Amino acid sequence: QPCWSEYLATRIEQNMVVSCTCPISECCAQPTAAFICSIISSEEIIAKYEKALLRGYVECCSNLTWCTNPQGCDQILLKDGLGYGAACSKCSWISCFSCNFPEAHYPASCSHMSHMTCVKCNHDFCWRCLKPWRPTHKDYYNCSAMVSKAAWQEKRFQDYNERCIFHHRAREFATSLRNRVSSISVMPKIRTLTFVLDACKMLEQARKVLAYSCVYSYYNQDTESMDIVEQQTENLELHTNAL
């Protein structure tokens, strides 16, 4: 039993317990959950084992996924039946289930978020698989060899990039403001500040849409409907700044 206990504890710590087999090389039997729980006495290690089982189950189910909140969230989300913009019930983070980008990015499409350009060599590549966007590219792993600032020097790219960064920073400010207001609202003799919290949440959402509108506009500048999109974006930005 001591040998089994040490073996299983090591496998759990290495996050390899789900696929572990009997330590005898000729034996392919896998230890059951009941067996592992009867061998391991440490509650901390058992808790890690249960987390590993849950993680393995989620990864095996195509209709389940973890919340993608970069600040950390252990909520499991069900993809089926959720429309675009469905928020996590625990942290309210809105994930995109169609691509690997960590959050919903309306109005920019998934292809917009996947198509990235290196600012050093102007190389187009896919953010999801990291393969060249254009198969004819010759310098995928050699950015430093041919330094070209064409993408960065392009005025239009600079403008949209700076606007996008500005809105993301403004969104972070709105989040910080909401957190500060939340801490004040719990103090005694302070009147309700719900309307201020609602305003901060609205600011966060508006800044998010404005940031990804920059991505959308950059890739769709030549379409006939862009005049309307730019006008609506300008109106949204005007009212957001006023708020």
Strongest mean pLDDT among 23-37, 91-105, 116-130: 23-37
User: Is 87 inside any structural domain?
Assistant: yes
> Mean pLDDT throughout 40-69?
83
Q: Is residue 185 part of a domain?
A: yes
Domain extent at residue 197: 116-242
Residue 123 lies in a domain: yes
Residues 37 and 99 occupy one common structural domain = no
Is the pLDDT confidence value at 194 over 60? yes
Q: Is the pTM of this model over 0.85?
A: no
Distances 178 to 125, 131, 169, 206 between C-alpha atoms, Å? 37, 40, 14, 14
Whether residue 171 lies inside any domain: the answer is yes
Q: What band does 34 get if pLDDT is binned at 50, 70 and 90?
A: confident
Task: With respect to residue 109, please indicate whether it lies within any of the assigned structural domains.
Answer: no
Report the number of distinct structural domains present in the chain.
Answer: 3
Assign residue 81 a region (left: φ > 0; alpha: ψ between -120 and 50; beta: otherwise): left
Whole-angstrom distance, CA of residue 241 vs CA of residue 243 = 5
Indicate whether 135 and 164 sit together in one domain: yes
Q: Answer whether residue 51 shows pLDDT above 80.
A: yes
pLDDT digits (tens, 9 = 90+) for 106-137: 788 777 776 666 656 666 666 555 666 655 44
Q: Give the per-residue pLDDT at 173.
A: 92
Can you tell me the mean pLDDT for 142-160?
Answer: 56
Q: Is the dihedral of CA 241, 229, 159, 162 positive or negative?
A: positive
